[in-house]
Chains A and B, each alone.
Chain A
Amino acid sequence: MPFRETAMRDDKKTRIIFGLGSVLAALALTTAIVAATGNNPLQAYGNIIQGAIGSPNVAANVLVSWVPLALATAGLLFTFTGGLWNIGIEGQITLGAIFCTWAMRSLQDTALSPGIIIAFAIAAGMLGGIFWALLAGALKTFGGVNEIFGGLGLNFVATALNLWLIFGPWKRPGVASMSGTLPFEPELWMPTVSAQSRLALIPLALAVLALVIAFILLRGSHFGLRLKAVGKNPKAAYLLGIPTWQHMLLSFALCGAFAGLAGAVQVSAVYHRLIPSISSGYGYTGLMVAMLVNFSPVFAGPVALFFAALSVGSIQLPIVLKLDSSLAGVIQGFLVLFVLIGNGLRLKLLGRKRGSI
């Protein structure tokens, strides 16, 4: 696009103004919708804030739910950089949880120490995520199936597999139920900061590490640069001698590893068993976070924390205010939508004065 003299410049200030405007628009619309349903928006927001930071216990829960979200987002930064929409991440989390449960079940009666069993189980979970991600990647690169639809199909398969295991081979002695498999012995639970808390430090450290790895690989490595070239223009990258499909598969595998880790954490540190909705939509929300931060590894962590706070904070809404907890998703959705539209509007105003749609 040729440079054009316009009244507005694409500097930091413009970006911040548009960013703030988008956030305000999202908040205004959410407020209007809550008010339109006959409820007090301020009360609803107050309840969400109270539910997210009102006590040390709920604040710890925000961190507990930040871990899988941050892991998923960190993984998605790789696939997005490679120009891929890894919607299949939800199933990759599920497979991570399944593989982790499988390893724990196989090893729990052996003489190995609990620490080693958990380490093996976490590694197994990562392998499960990689396996499922490579399936989606192979469907894309060798079968020509768009990764969105291949991934969604695999998500459904993962859900079916999970349910089959919970209600079939791994069912609780006696009667199978939606509450999941039999919990593991407490010595196989990942240690938490205190007996009452669900917050474990090892997963927290792993999530931070994942974001750091994503930052280093994507911002400071040759691999990151080549992956970016593949994402921007696969044909040109191929002509420049970059092995295109190998890079795509590698980004799938990295994303799958982080997703599988998230699933393994949910099993070994949070639920201590396999439950039907083990992936809890963290993958889908991770896609939103990654889009909102425009695929930046720097902002992924904080924004994931904000999204986790919204989700955890809204859990009390149905009990206290008789509002559905999906309000958190509504706020998140409007935020991403308005930031997208704001971006488009900014570029349009900057780029061309000749008006045409």
Chain B
Amino acid sequence: MTSDALLFGLSGVLSSSAPILFGVLGETISERAGVSNLAMNGMILLSAMGGFAASLATGSLALGFLAGAAIGATVALVVAIASISFKQSQVAVGYVLAMLCRDLAYFLGNPIMGMPGPRLNLSPIPVLSSIPVIGTLLFRHDIITYSSFLLIFLSWFYMERTKPGIMLKGLGENPRAAYVRGANVNRLRYLYTVAGGAIAGLAGPIYSLSVKAGWKGTISGLDGIGWIVLSITIFGGWRPFRAAIGAYFFSLLQWMGLVLQPLMPNVPSQVLQVAPFPLMILTLLLVNIGNAEWVERSLSHLPESVRRDIAKVLTALNATPPAALGMPFDKDE
């Protein structure tokens, strides 16, 4: 492979990570508040279809993205109502919505399937884009890819450096303490679930208006992405920068699958296309195994020096979810 092709490939990895980043960071915000939105897979499909349909009908890309965010927010609102107000299991509601929204996307998207539609143009940044290597890699993208870089930083800044951000983490970590400090826990959970849903809902139109432009129904290749988004959220340990590493790592794997295909004629292309999915999800084993009791027990038999090194690696990889994730909060209990 020439170095030019490599550079364009890596630049493509950055832009195809944009929808995953929006999904993962939206979900991270929601889960930090204590609500896991398992509807992600259906939600991305529905907002991809809805965003494309909206911008097809109005000719406006902005309205397409807005529609995607609105769909994400609406689905998240249903999760919030069912789990916060009605205390139903978040897993159950999320799973049903994941299935329902997927079928809704296919049903409602049937008439616009395969239609040519608007697509977001690249906006290379003047001057910066002509820097060798870095210019191609970082500064020749569309506006949404730039926004995804910004979103990583902004969500980190909000959670780690602002007062409401610290409170947000409290909602998922120790809602009782947050309540004592004056937070209206359930109202804030509503707010962050819906906001996280709106951010994650943008992932849909980012696909259908940019990364994989158009709506092609069941062969859009988007089914499954939402589950990847949810597992990257865990892999990311609910921290924006680590989540970003997970998103880029996944896109890199997918791109490598495409590049390696001609080199491995014996492996059917379908296999390489799905290969990153199990890899990504099985990395969860690495980030979770430190929590298992038997690991601790077997580690205690090892000599001190080895044990300390292994423990260090496991701790670095380890990700602990917000303590109150999935649990309803009732101030009277």
Segment of B2-10, B13-21, B243-251, B274-282 in the binding face: B274-282
* Chain A residue, CB-CB nearest to B218: A326
Cα–Cα distance between A343 and B93 once the two chains are bound (Å): 12
A: number of interface residues (CB 8 Å):
53
> B85 at interface (Cβ–Cβ under 8 A)?
yes
Segment of A51-59, A162-170, A251-259 in the binding face: A162-170
Q: Are A143 and B285 in contact (CB under 8 A)?
A: yes
Beyond A145-B288, A152-B227, A354-B332, is A160–B270 a contact (Cβ under 8 Å)?
A: yes
Q: Which 7 A-B pairs rank lowest in CB-CB distance, beginning with the nearest?
A: A344-B86, A333-B100, A153-B281, A329-B103, A144-B288, A167-B268, A156-B277
Q: Are A347 and B87 in contact (CB under 8 A)?
A: yes
Q: CB within 8 Å of A: which residues of B? A: 38, 78, 81-82, 84-88, 91-93, 95-97, 99-104, 106-111, 186-187, 190, 217, 224, 227, 230-231, 234, 266-268, 270-271, 274-275, 277-278, 280-282, 284-285, 288-292, 294, 330-332
* Chain A residue, CB-CB nearest to B269: A167
Cα–Cα distance between A103 and B198 once the two chains are bound (Å): 49
Please give the distance in Å from A44's CB to the nearest CB on chain B: 10
Which label, helix, strand, loop or mixed, suits the secondary structure of the B interface?
helix
| B residues in contact with A211, CB < 8 Å | none
Q: Are B88 and A85 in contact (CB under 8 A)?
A: no
> A110 at interface (Cβ–Cβ under 8 A)?
no
Q: Are B96 and A337 in contact (CB under 8 A)?
A: yes
| A residues in contact with B87, CB < 8 Å | 344, 347-348
- For A150, give its contact among B95, B187, B267, B281 (CB under 8 Å): B281
Pick the most buried of B103, B111, B289: most chain A CB atoms within 10 A of its CB: B103
* Chain A residue, CB-CB nearest to B185: A357
Beyond A156-B224, A354-B332, is A291–B281 a contact (Cβ under 8 Å)?
A: no
Beyond A284-B99, A327-B107, A356-B332, is A291–B86 a contact (Cβ under 8 Å)?
A: no
Q: Are A144 and B278 in contact (CB under 8 A)?
A: no
Beyond A324-B110, A343-B88, is A153–B277 a contact (Cβ under 8 Å)?
A: yes
| B residues in contact with A156, CB < 8 Å | 224, 274, 277-278, 281
Could you write out 17 A-B pairs with CB less than 8 Å apart? A148-B38, A150-B285, A156-B277, A156-B278, A160-B278, A164-B267, A164-B270, A168-B268, A288-B96, A327-B103, A330-B100, A333-B96, A334-B100, A337-B96, A341-B86, A348-B85, A357-B187
| A residues in contact with B186, CB < 8 Å | 356-357
Pick the most buried of A139, A334, A357: most chain B CB atoms within 10 A of its CB: A357
> A212 at interface (Cβ–Cβ under 8 A)?
no
* Chain B residue, CB-CB nearest to A334: B100
- For B111, give its contact among A37, A176, A327, A343 (CB under 8 Å): A37
Cα–Cα distance between A139 and B274 once the two chains are bound (Å): 20
- Chain A positions 155-205 with a Cβ under 8 Å from a chain B Cβ: 156-157, 159-160, 163-164, 167-168, 176
Please give the distance in Å from B220's CB to the nearest CB on chain A: 13
Q: Are A153 and B103 in contact (CB under 8 A)?
A: no
Q: Are A33 and B108 in contact (CB under 8 A)?
A: yes
Fill in one digit per residue for A274-317: 1 if any B CB lies within 8 Å of its CB, else 0. 00100000001001100100000000000000000000000000
